[in-house]
Amino acid sequence: MKSETGILKEGRGMVRGVHLSRKRRKSVESFLWGGGVIFLVLAVWEICSNTGVINPMFSSSPSRIARTGLALIRDGSLWVHIKASGTIFILGYLMAIAAGIPLGVLMGWFKKAGLAFGPLVAACYTTPRIALMPLFIIWFGLGMGSKLALVFLSAVFPLIINMQTAVSNLDKDLVKVAAAYGATQRQVFFTIALPESIPYLMMGLRLATGRALLGIVGAEVFGGSEGLGYLIQYAGATFQTDKVFVCVLVIAAAGIFMDRGLYRLNKRFDGWRSRED
């Protein structure tokens, strides 16, 4: 005879198995529908280009884009531009994280800091960063400095705003309970404020990723001699639409990869918080 504990474990195992099978089925269904739509769009695009319905000189075709991408990989030129853009992106993104998270926490935790820096952050956030690129070139030159400045400003404000929102909107019941048990401000900050701000932080990082990618492309289009943005600008000016699409696909793939990675990391934090609760 099985014990009651064994029966409960078997029941939980069966429920967990059913849940996983449903999750896999939904994932497969989502992949099939999404992949089917993408395949249909590519097939129609290829047919229209080959039959002359659309001019391949202006729109290219999936097969031409694939051949051009392979050629750029083989001759090594694509890797040179990816390396140049990747270096600027990583440095600017890390600078934004190093500055944006502490400043956002400071503005959210201390009301006077929020009142003091809030209008400045709002003004800078709503200003188109690409419009400042001529000034960055004057100040920092056409090298790495001006590009880093644009990427940094593109990525830092989503982090500041999200962290400020997280820290300034804590669960009041949790704060009251902590105060009732004699918790200090430091303990409240590290045990309530920081854990509660993780979802906002991950969302800020995801938003900052997209903004930083836009920033690096804009910086390289505006001024530069290498990088994916430069290659897009040069290929577009010379009607090499195949190369333009290759660069766009590389940037899109990088954005999707980083966004999915941050999303999965956030899910891990969700699981950790649920186990702690």
266 shares a domain with 150: yes
CB 100 within 8 A of CB 156: yes
Name the pLDDT band for 14 (thresholds 50, 70, 90): low
Q: Which position has the token pair 């075709």?
A: 61
Phi first, then psi: what are they for 35, rounded to 5°?
-65, -35
> How far is the CA of 128 from the CAs of 13, 28, 44, 116, in angstroms?
54, 41, 36, 22
Question: pLDDT digits over 223-255, tens only?
Answer: 777 888 889 888 888 888 889 999 999 998 898
Question: pLDDT digits over 85-131, tens only?
Answer: 999 999 999 999 999 999 998 888 888 888 888 888 888 888 888 77
50 shares a domain with 83: no
What is the model's pLDDT at position 118? 85
Picking from 38, 51, 220, 255, the residue whose alpha carbon sits closest to that of residue 146 is 220
Q: What is the mean pLDDT of the chain?
A: 81
Q: What is the longest distance spanned by two Cα atoms in the chain?
A: 83
* CA 21/CA 30 separation, integer angstroms: 14
Burial of 25 (0-12, 13-18, 19+ CB in 10 A): exposed
Two structure tokens written together for 275: 């186990």
124 shares a domain with 36: no
pTM of the predicted model as reported, rounded to 2 decimal places: 0.79
* CA 170/CA 196 separation, integer angstroms: 7
130 shares a domain with 21: no
Residue type (1 letter), 99 = A
198 shares a domain with 180: yes
Total of domains in the chain: 2
13 shares a domain with 75: no
163 shares a domain with 105: yes
48 shares a domain with 71: no
11 shares a domain with 48: yes
- Where residue 215 sits, what CATH number does that domain have? 1.10.3720.10
121 shares a domain with 48: no
Q: Which position has the token pair 């690129």?
A: 133
Measured between its terminal Cα atoms, the distance across the chain in Å is 35
244 shares a domain with 183: yes
Range of the domain at 10: 1-54
Instruction: Give 81's contacts (C-beta < 8 A, 6+ positions apart).
Output: 226, 227, 228, 230, 231, 247
Picking from 38, 36, 16, the residue whose alpha carbon sits closest to that of residue 249 is 38
DSSP state, residue 169: T
232 shares a domain with 185: yes
In 181-240, alpha helices (H): 185-188, 194-196, 198-222, 228-237
- Helix or strand or coil: residue 75? coil
| End residue of a domain, out of 37, 54, 71 | 54
Question: pLDDT digits over 16-49, tens only?
Answer: 554 556 767 776 776 677 677 788 888 888 888 8
